[in-house]
């Protein structure tokens, strides 16, 4: 039981990092993305391939993951962010579909639907993270780092400009802010953060396949932001809640077929209830009057 | 800095919003742009600030062609504008709205967001400038209130302060007094006068002729997308034949 809970908390920490990264876009800048699982996936595959095929250590894994995700993010953000906000959401949808296609079909590199198995423990500078406790510690550290980065951006002048973009982009432009560049950079940072979470995710699962990084997963990460709220810790709390909720339903002793459906229904209801009654998120105190 | 437009035309569908408009603005002082609704006043400002691209003609700043530059590029060349409807960040404080406009490119890098945890919105030089402007406008008591909780007149005043905070030498105000009553008018007027006395060019669109008479040294009268008259305010306002076009 203790290991079971340990497992869930570690999972929550890893996902929370990707969710906080997504929150920088969604609540921070007003950019809706349904492709956060893509960047989690790029990190996971970069890490897994670098480790299993090339036998390189964690630092290289992180660098490869960050580089690949940054490149992909630029590929999507620069063209789509020139247009109005909605087009970014559509572009991320396209990216999500393409990525799933590539992961499934590019068998030579990704091993297709079979995925990559036998991913060993994460090792950083010669120290191998073997025990579940150590992995939890690492995941928690990364998550805390993500909270710190996101909070400091929120408090910074950069964050203020992002909020200006969210609220009224033309207003920000009329004050001489190059809003395209502000958006491109935050999308890049979000992608890199998510890919770091992805590297840990691969080592945590020890086996990854395309089914872990689908549109449903992206939507799930997005719902964690919506349900959590506007501050980084709210998003982390939202993640923990949505990781634990389906597990709690498991203890109801329902038949497996029913339980899976019930989980979807519970998700849907939760999102509707939050959007209707607490649009600022379950854990955010600030009431937005709009 | 001298601003002029040469032969600017713009049509929206079949409506000729601007037809061959040429104006040479004085290097400093206050200029009023008057005219009936639909005369093309706002469109004129939109064409210089990159929001509307003119069909023909040029905007020249110190002889340099700035036509077709993006909104942020125009702002960076030192031409700032306010909008007819209020455009501010309602959930941020008055001071943060002003500070946002104060140019400080150094603290706007993503990297500096990591370095100056909790401090970079409040960089000393920016805060001092924002405070100075808030004081100049008589907004001292409201600096730390969210813009949302300000009266309409106060929000209009904050809009003007934010526009000025960009440090631009040329300020274009689109109906800064519309919907403002009582003391609010006086506050905005005196703020505009202080800006102009510092060697800036303040151009404002206005319907209230009393305010125009009080503020503007030069007046541009527009009608149906053309300039009917440009000159010293007293002279333009005395030409009854032209004003008929304005008053209908």
Residues of A whose CB is below 8 A from B83: 171, 174
pLDDT (mean) for A178-206 = 95
- At residue A289 the predicted structure's pLDDT band, cuts being 50, 70 and 90, is very low
Q: How confident is the model at residue A290 (pLDDT cuts 50, 70, 90)?
A: very low
Task: Check A167 against B112: CB less than 8 A apart.
Answer: no
In A, which residues are within 8 Å of B52 by CB distance? Answer: none
What are the structural domain ranges in chain A?
2-215
What confidence score (pLDDT) does residue B244 get? Answer: 67
Chain A interface mutation, best of B71, B172, B174, highest count of A Cβ atoms under 10 Å:
B71
The C-alpha atoms of residue A165 and residue A183 are separated, in whole angstroms, by 9
What is the model's pLDDT at position A250? 75
Q: What are the DSSP calls for A11-59, one per residue?
A: HHHHHHHHHHHHHHHHHHH----S-HHHHHHHHHHHHHHHHHTT---HH
Distance in angstroms (rounded) separating the CA atoms of residues A222 and A19: 7
Q: Is the pLDDT of residue B159 over 70?
A: yes
Helix pair angle (A179-205, A58-81), 10° resolution: 140
Task: Give the residues across from B81 on adjacent strands.
Answer: B172
Determine what percent of chain B is predicted with pLDDT higher than 90: 62
User: What is the CB neighbour count within 10 angstroms for residue B234?
Assistant: 11
Contact by Cβ (8 Å): A203, A89:
no
pLDDT at B116 over 70: no
Distance of CA B61 to the CA centre of its chain: 16
Q: What is the largest CA-CA distance in chain B?
A: 63
User: Which chain B residues touch A28 with a CB distance below 8 Å?
Assistant: none
ipTM for the predicted complex = 0.91
Residue A160 — very low, low, confident or very high, per pLDDT cuts 50/70/90? very high
pLDDT: is B124 or B5 the higher one? B5
Q: Which chain A residue has its CA at the smallest distance from B92's CA?
A: A160
Establish if A136 touches chain B: CB-CB under 8 angstroms.
no
Q: Is the pLDDT of residue B3 over 90?
A: yes
Task: Report residue B124: phi and psi, to 5°.
Answer: -50, -50
- Give chain A positions within 8 Å (CB) of B100: 157, 160-161, 164, 172, 175
pLDDT at residue A123 is higher than 80: yes
* Predicted local confidence at residue A124, as pLDDT: 82
Are A168 and B51 in contact (CB < 8 Å)? Answer: no
Q: Does A287 touch chain B (CB under 8 A)?
A: no
Predicted pLDDT of residue B245: 62
CATH classification (class only), B3-243: alpha beta
Do residues A104 and A188 lie in contact, with contact meaning Cβ atoms separated by under 8 Å? no
Q: Which residue has the higher pLDDT, B247 or A10?
A: A10
**Concatenated DSSP letters of B42-93:** HHHHHHHTTSS--SEEEEEETTEE-TT--HHHHHHTTEEE--SS--S-TTSB
- The pLDDT tens digits for B183-202 are 888 899 999 999 999 889 99
Q: Please indicate whether residue A285 or residue B169 has the higher confidence score (pLDDT).
A: B169
Average pLDDT of the residues in A105-131: 86
**CA–CA separation, B9 and B148 (whole Å):** 38
Q: Which comes out higher in pLDDT, residue B110 or B166?
A: B166
Q: What is the pLDDT of residue B209?
A: 87
Task: Provide the residue count of chain B.
Answer: 248
Give A273's Cβ-side CA count (13 Å radius).
8
pLDDT mean over A244-268: 79
Cα A39 to Cα A45, A195, A278, distances in angstroms: 10, 5, 29
Query: Contact, A69 vs A194, CB < 8 A?
Result: yes
**Phi, psi angle pair for B92, to nearest 5°:** -100, 160
pLDDT number for residue A35:
94
- Residue B182 has a pLDDT of 83
A86 vs B58, more confident: B58
Contact A153 B110 (CB under 8 A): yes
Average pLDDT, rounded, for chain A: 89
pLDDT digits (tens, 9 = 90+) for B51-63: 999 999 999 999 8
Average pLDDT, chain B: 88
Nearest alpha carbon to residue B109 among A239, A130, A177:
A177
For chain B, domain boundaries: 3-243
The number of beta carbons lying within 10 Å of the beta carbon of residue B53 is 10
**In the sheet where B64-65 sits, what is the strand order?**
B15-24, B3-12, B56-61, B64-65
Cα→Cα distances A121→A16, A51, B64, B186, Å: 21, 9, 62, 71
Ramachandran area for residue B62 (φ above 0: left; ψ -120 to 50: alpha; else beta):
left
Output b/e per residue, B92-130; b: 16+ Cβ within 10 A: bbbbbbbbbbbbbeebbebebbbebeeebbbbeebbebb
> CB-based contacts of A219: which residues, under 8 Å, 6+ apart?
A34
Give the C-alpha separation, B172 to B71, whole Å: 13
Cβ atoms of B158 and B143 closer than 8 Å: no
Q: Which residue has the tokens 């700043």?
A: B61
pTM of the model: 0.90
Least confident span in B2-16, B36-50, B76-90, B115-129: B115-129
Across the range A202-227, mean pLDDT stands at 93
| Chain A residues inside the 8 Å CB shell of B112 | 156-158
- Tell me: pLDDT of B18 over 60: yes
- Bridge partners (DSSP) listed for residue B4: B24, B60
Looking at the DSSP assignment, which residues form a beta bridge with residue B203? B31, B172
Residue A275 has pLDDT above 80, yes or no: yes
Record: contact B100-A161, CB cut-off 8 A: yes
Among A146, A160, A188, A286, most B C-beta atoms within 10 A, so best to mutate, is A160
Calculate the dihedral angle through the C-alpha atoms of A202, A204, A207, A209, rounding to the nearest 10 degrees: -50
What is the maximum span of chain A, computed from C-alpha positions, in angstroms?
Answer: 59
Task: Provide mean pLDDT across the span B193-220.
Answer: 91
Torsion on CA atoms B99, B104, B106, B107, rounded to nearest 10: 0
């Amino acid at each position: 039981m203790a290991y079971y809970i340990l497992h869930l908390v570690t999972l929550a920490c890893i996902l929370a990092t990707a969710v906080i990264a997504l929150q920088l876009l969604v609540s921070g800048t007003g950019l809706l993305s349904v492709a956060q699982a893509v960047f989690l996936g790029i990190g996971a595959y970069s890490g897994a391939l670098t480790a299993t095929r090339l036998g390189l250590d964690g630092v290289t894994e992180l660098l490869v993951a960050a580089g690949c995700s940054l490149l992909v993010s630029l590929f999507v953000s620069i063209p789509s962010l020139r247009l109005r906000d909605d087009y970014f959401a559509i572009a991320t949808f396209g990216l999500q579909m393409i990525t799933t296609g590539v992961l499934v079909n590019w068998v030579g590199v990704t091993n297709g639907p079979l995925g990559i198995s036998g991913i060993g423990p994460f090792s950083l500078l010669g120290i191998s993270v073997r025990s579940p406790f150590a992995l939890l510690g690492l995941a928690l550290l990364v998550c805390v780092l993500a909270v710190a980065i996101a909070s400091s951006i929120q408090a910074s002048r950069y964050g203020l400009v992002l909020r200006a973009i969210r609220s009224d982009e033309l207003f920000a432009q009329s004050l001489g802010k190059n809003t395209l560049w502000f958006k491109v950079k935050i999308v890049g940072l979000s992608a890199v953060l998510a890919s770091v979470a992805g590297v840990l995710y691969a080592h945590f699962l020890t086996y990854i396949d395309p089914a872990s990084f689908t549109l449903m997963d992206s939507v799930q990460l997005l719902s964690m932001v919506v349900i959590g709220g506007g501050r980084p810790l709210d998003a982390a709390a939202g993640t923990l809640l949505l990781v634990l909720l389906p597990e709690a339903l498991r203890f109801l002793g329902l038949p497996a077929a029913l339980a899976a459906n019930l989980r979807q229904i519970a998700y849907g209801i939760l999102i509707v209830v939050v959007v209707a009654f607490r649009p600022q998120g379950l854990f955010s105190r600030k009431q937005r009057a709009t | 800095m001298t601003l002029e437009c040469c032969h600017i035309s713009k049509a929206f569908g079949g409506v000729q919003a601007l037809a061959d408009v040429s104006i040479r603005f004085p290097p400093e002082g206050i200029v009023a742009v008057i005219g009936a609704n639909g005369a093309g006043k706002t469109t004129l400002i939109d064409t210089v600030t990159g929001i509307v691209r003119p069909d023909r003609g040029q905007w020249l700043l110190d002889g340099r062609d700035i036509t077709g530059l993006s909104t942020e590029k125009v702002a960076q060349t030192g031409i700032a504008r306010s909008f007819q409807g209020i455009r501010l960040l309602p959930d941020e404080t008055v001071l943060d709205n002003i500070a946002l406009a104060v140019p400080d490119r150094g603290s706007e890098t993503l990297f500096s967001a990591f370095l100056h945890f909790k401090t970079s919105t409040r960089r000393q030089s920016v805060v001092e400038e924002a405070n100075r402007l808030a004081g100049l406008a008589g907004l001292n008591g409201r600096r730390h209130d969210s813009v949302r909780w300000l009266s309409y007149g106060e929000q209009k005043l904050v809009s003007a302060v934010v526009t000025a905070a960009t440090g631009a030498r040329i300020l274009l105000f689109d109906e800064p007094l519309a919907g403002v009553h009582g003391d609010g008018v006086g506050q905005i007027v005196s703020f505009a006068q202080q800006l102009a006395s510092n060697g800036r060019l303040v151009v404002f669109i206005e319907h209230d002729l009393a305010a125009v008479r009080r503020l503007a040294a030069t007046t541009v009268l527009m009608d149906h997308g053309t300039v009917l008259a440009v000159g010293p305010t007293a002279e333009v306002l005395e030409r009854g034949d032209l004003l008929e076009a304005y008053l209908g």
